[in-house]
């Protein structure tokens, strides 16, 4: 698989992790919790993740898994 194809598959994940609407560590912590790593919530001043972030994380994860399956 070429580098451009790999990069294209990761763009959604990159946008999820680096978006201005949810600064780190919120997206990272939500994704890690979704993966079964009990990292809890972000400390103050960040606090709990906003509504909808977990659903967005699940969509990103599902799309990454689908892309990986399609590549094999």
State pLDDT tens for residues 2-42: 899 889 999 999 999 999 999 999 999 999 999 999 999 99
pLDDT class of 70 with cuts at 50, 70, 90 = confident
pLDDT for 1: 64
Identify whether 40 is preceded by a cis peptide bond (ω within 30 of 0): no
pLDDT for 29: 97
pTM: 0.86
pLDDT for 71: 76
Task: Say if CB 29 and CB 17 are below 8 A apart.
Answer: no
**Could you give the CA distance from residue 68 to residue 28 in angstroms, rounded to a whole number?**
20
- Burial class of residue 37 in the structure, from the number of CB atoms within 10 Å of its CB (0-12 exposed, 13-18 middle, 19+ buried): exposed
């Amino acid at each position: 698989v070429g580098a451009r194809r790999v990069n294209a598959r990761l763009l959604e994940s990159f946008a999820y992790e680096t978006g201005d609407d949810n600064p780190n560590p919120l997206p990272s912590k939500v994704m890690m919790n979704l993966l079964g790593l009990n990292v809890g919530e972000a400390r103050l001043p960040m606090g709990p993740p906003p509504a909808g972030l977990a659903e967005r994380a699940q969509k990103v994860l599902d799309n990454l898994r689908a892309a990986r399956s399609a590549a094999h």
